[in-house]
Amino acid sequence: MEVQLHGRLMKNSVSECGCIHTCQGLEFDYVGVIIGDDLQYENGLVITDYLKRAKTDNSLKGLKKMLKIEPDKAKKLADEIIRNTYRTLMTRGQKGCFVYCTDQELAAYFKERFKNSSRLYEENEFYRSYPRIAEDREEY
């Protein structure tokens, strides 16, 4: 797979890893997204938790100060930023998107929601059916 990055052709980008900031404005054939604990599924709702966001993420910079002044507005803004981050990442793949959720309830929710819209991928250079997956289980 090849990707254009700042006018340069990047070969073998399938082995590259990035974040919302490094892939901004780029389109890929396939993208893999890891959804962390800041997005969860509880009691029938997809919720966000800004406290579980990576401390190194600058997208929520200034939130602590805003929480003291306008807590409702700050929580709403954090919710929008977290949701938009994952929405943006999940739309970078032109041919497909592979998603892993740290929250198992969210994974089950996505599986159910995407059951009718997802297609099964045949084995190709990016996806291979392995007898076992990383979590040492036979299926997700």
Q: Which residue has the higher pLDDT, 15 or 34?
A: 34
The pTM of the full predicted model, rounded to 2 decimals, is: 0.69
pLDDT at 118: 55
For 94-130, write each residue's pLDDT tens digit. 888 888 999 999 999 988 887 766 555 566 555 555 4
pLDDT in tens, 30-68: 888 999 999 999 999 999 999 998 878 888 888 889 999
How large is the C-alpha radius of gyration of the chain?
17
Query: What average pLDDT does the structure give for the chain?
Result: 77
Sign for the CA dihedral angle at 77, 22, 57, 61 comes to negative
Where do runs of H (alpha helix) occur along 22-137? 63-69, 71-90, 104-114
